[in-house]
A and B are shown apart, each in its own frame.
Chain A
Amino acid sequence: MSALTPASFRAGFRRLVSAFALPLALTAFAAPAGATTIERVVSPGGVVAWLVHEPAVPMIAVDIAFSGGAAQDPAGKSGTATFVASMLDEGAGDLDSKAFSDHLERKAIEMSFSAERDSIRGSLRTLTENRDEAFDLLRLALTAPRFDASDVEINRAQLLSILRRQTTSPGNIASQRWWQTAFEGHPYGRPVNGTQESLATITVDDLKTYAHKVLARQNLKIAVVGDIDAETLKPILDRVFGALPEKPDLMPIESATPHGLGRRIDINLDVPQTVVDFGGPGIARKDPDFMAAYIINHILGGGSSDSRLYQEVREKRGLVYSISDSLIWLDHSSVLIGGTATRADRTNETIDLVQKEIRRFAESGPTEAELTEAKNYLNSSFALNLDTSSKIAALLVQLQLDGLDTDYFTKRPEMIGAVTLADAKRVAKRLLDNGLLVTVVGKTQAVASSAPTAK
């Protein structure tokens, strides 16, 4: 609900903040780590957590991730992971949802869960003085969620309301159609929040089964940041996570690459501003070209006002307010996806310009100066991702999901530095010369749906 969005009160960021910034993008910023030291803590029971001990503020931030996510939704029941995540803080053990939220509020403990394509994420924030109660409530949420029928129905109705609203939101339609087309027949093509039809079929047993299969120790990553040291943390890890089943029961997911490249899909919706999503294949996190691809993404439209797309489409021509793209790496695929929005009569011009800039970049790659600037940026900006406990916790979970080590911070500058101009040019072509799948939502212009676009 945003009946009261602060748009009229707090308008006007000069640039849209993080239009496409997914948590995944975090590891992209990497360089010398400053004072942040990561400890790998192993509990007596064998539970592993990455810890940054920082006692300056009397609070603790915990982030966790279970591999699995919406990709593990049963066939015909998309939205199950999202539904489960929404229920984990709705009562557990002897505490029904009212008692559970009452305990959280009395101690000012913040707990939340969410589902992504590949994982269920959890987040806990507590003042140091309420540490034990906070960890106990986390243990209950993970190991004894209740899924009481009345609360399940409340959350189902809320999820359905969100889905109904998304049916007329140009941004949601453009994004959903993009994923649905690019990953037709693959779990990544299904909407993470499900559909009105699928949500109606999800039962309490489905939720319990999903939780039982996915919430396990072997596929769990834990990050702890703040006012707690390793010795204090160790027994807590066993207490909180020790009761989870050892192994998850996950369906195998096939690898996939995006389909529909070269297609443009127009969806008619009567809105003043047309929303455009565009994208193609990315480069996998474990690919030797990954770092070069990350640099290429940064130069093309990675969020800086210096980027090529921002300069050409916004600054020089005033066509749009926001334009950016992101490299997204998933467990079984990777994509480069971007988005922008403009008025109906400039839509074709904007799309043509984006295509032209991407083609030009694929053909000639970055200049030496652009490469140097991008490398400097990616190195120097890293510290900005380490200035709050919450940001550090999110980053530490992502590094673990990516299979990296605790010395990654010190290695990262070398990896960035090792990318040569020849690498960058080769990878620009590899990344950007595949054609784009474009989804367009707005007042339809003269281009027919699915018409091939010039590559």
Chain B
Amino acid sequence: MLVAMFAALAGMASSAAARAATGPEVTDFTLSNGLEVVVVQDHRAPVVTHMIWYKVGSADETPGKSGLAHFLEHLMFKGTEKHPGAAFSQDVAAIGGQENAFTTADYTSFFQRVPREHLKEMMALEADRITNLVLTDAVVKPELNVVLEEQNMRVANNPNARLSEQVDAALYLNHPYGRPVIGWRHEIEKLTREDALAFYKRFYTPNNAVVVIAGDVTPDEVKADAEDTYAKVPVRTVIAPRQRPTEPVQEAPRTVTLADPRVEQPSVSREYLTPSETTAKPGESEALDVLAHVLGSGANSRLYRTLVVDKGTALAAGAFYSGTALDYGKFGVYAAPRPGVTLQEAEQGIDAVLNDVIAHGVTEDELDRAKNRLIADAVYAQDNQATLARWYGAALATGQTVDQVRTWPDRIRAVTAEGVQQAARTWLDRRHSVTGYLVKSLQPEESHS
């Protein structure tokens, strides 16, 4: 099995299992200023992962200012009055820590991984920058260029990523998930210090954040430290409910074709609009997790077996469900045809597999295998405190609860073959989908290569 070839996709597929942990002790509490704190205990090594999750992402941006949530994430490293310039980062480096940050449509997260005795220091530094960021044009302008280079690297240089942006833009007819998290380049170019500060003041406040601490700590010590640090940050603003525009009834399947002379391996992918874990009816997102696994996770899945092994028409094939989101999830399928096989033939191959599962469902054996595998993922996750911290943080930042994360394996256990078939029937509906074709040229004969 060629791990490298599928690494990016496998990452998405396994994110289907991305939450869940029955093992570790998890405690949560809320401070008087509304900041929620989650503590995940892992005493195997004297280190701690400290994350703050703001419930704001690219889907909360004002139209015309795409990329602002992510740009502000970068600017959060530019210092406060008390800790000017790169003082925070220098402190992290001085104690042998690691730090980084990331942004999605629904949240913005900052983290440090440090030796456990430095946790309180990190909490104090992170509490300080909730409301005390100082920005000057001297630091904002070079950082805008850094972000533009990031856009070049992640998107402009990468035909797959450019197609993915166009597919998302077509999948959401009305909801802001259709905008790239990194932003549209022509809008990123115009972002200013004032835009960033306005966004910061609107969304960065303790009552709009969750702190997740995973590692060699006890809830009592974290609570005491949080009272000394985070609890002292006053509420800056009231946060309105996160109500984004919703999707109308989607009536027409869409197709998007991206052509680039650098494409040496054509591929076809399709995304279906689905509920998220937060918006799904009970059992529905879990059924989609199982469906994605049976259809397209690994060498034993239906898509891989049928298209790659048995028919030999594809070099790669799989499926995933991305459910950790506030408003909508998506279910994806993909295939990369062998040379000599057209994208249309590959797509027909995918459709035959999907139609079969819609018509006949999954077998009890497939159901058991998928459930065992997904539940085992929750055990493997316990090996990595940073993974656990991300699962809890992402779930809480998208409207789920600690208990929902903890009981995910039980809900997977409860999935039935009927439930999986019902999910396939309901959600694998072409009218709610976009199919993307990645080709070398729009000339038909070449798109078949």
Contacts and interface: CB of A to CB of B under 8 A. Distances in A.
A36 B44 CA distance: 9
Given A3-B163, A3-B164, A373-B93, A342 B149 contact: yes
A5 to B, nearest CB: 5
B301 to A, nearest CB: 9
Contact of B316 (A158, A383, A390): A158
A439 interface: no
Interface stretch (A62-70, A241-249, A314-322, A429-437): A314-322
B96 A381 contact: yes
Interface in A396-413: none
Contact of A383 (B115, B152, B300): B115
A3 B115 contact: no
A445 B116 CA distance: 49
Interface string B156-183: 1110110111001000000000001110
B38 to A, nearest CB: 18
Interface residues of B, number: 107
B320 interface: yes
B8 A377 contact: no
B376 A3 contact: no
A306 B90 contact: yes
Interface in B250-271: 261-265, 267-269
Given A61-B383, A305-B86, A3 B438 contact: yes
B181 A9 contact: yes
Contact of A320 (B86, B98, B146, B264): B146
Contacts of A13: 100-102
A89 B300 CA distance: 12
Interface stretch (A96-104, A201-209, A252-260, A328-336): A96-104
A7 interface: yes
Contacts, number: 288
Contact of B94 (A271, A305, A376, A390): A376
A207 to B, nearest CB: 14
B267 A3 contact: yes
B383 A341 contact: no
A2 B160 contact: yes
Interface stretch (B275-283, B307-315, B399-407): B307-315
Interface residues of A, number: 92
Nearest to A159: B2
A17 B74 CA distance: 15
Interface stretch (B136-144, B194-202, B232-240, B355-363): B136-144
A181 interface: no
A272 B316 contact: no
A270 B149 CA distance: 16
Contacts of A167: 264
Interface stretch (A52-60, A72-80, A277-285, A447-455): A52-60
B308 A154 contact: yes
A321 B146 contact: yes
Interface stretch (B29-37, B219-227, B331-339, B415-423): B331-339
B2 A108 contact: no
B102 A12 contact: yes
Interface string B321-347: 010000000001010101100000000
A1 B307 CA distance: 15
B176 to A, nearest CB: 12
B146 A314 contact: yes
Nearest to B185: A272
B296 to A, nearest CB: 11
A380 B100 contact: no
Interface string B72-106: 01100100000000100110011111111111110
Given A89-B1, A272-B157, A384-B47, A3 B182 contact: no
8 contacts: A3-B163, A3-B436, A12-B182, A34-B46, A161-B264, A168-B262, A273-B152, A373-B94
Interface of B: 1-9, 11-12, 23, 42-47, 58, 70, 73-74, 77, 86, 89-90, 93-105, 113-115, 141-150, 152-158, 160-161, 163-165, 168, 180-182, 215, 261-265, 267-269, 298-300, 305, 308-309, 312, 315-316, 320, 322, 332, 334, 336, 338-339, 369, 372-373, 376-377, 379-380, 382-386, 436, 438
Given A9-B181, A9-B322, A306-B90, 17 more contacts: A1-B334, A3-B164, A3-B269, A9-B105, A11-B58, A13-B101, A17-B100, A59-B380, A101-B298, A104-B300, A107-B372, A127-B376, A168-B261, A272-B157, A321-B152, A343-B148, A388-B383
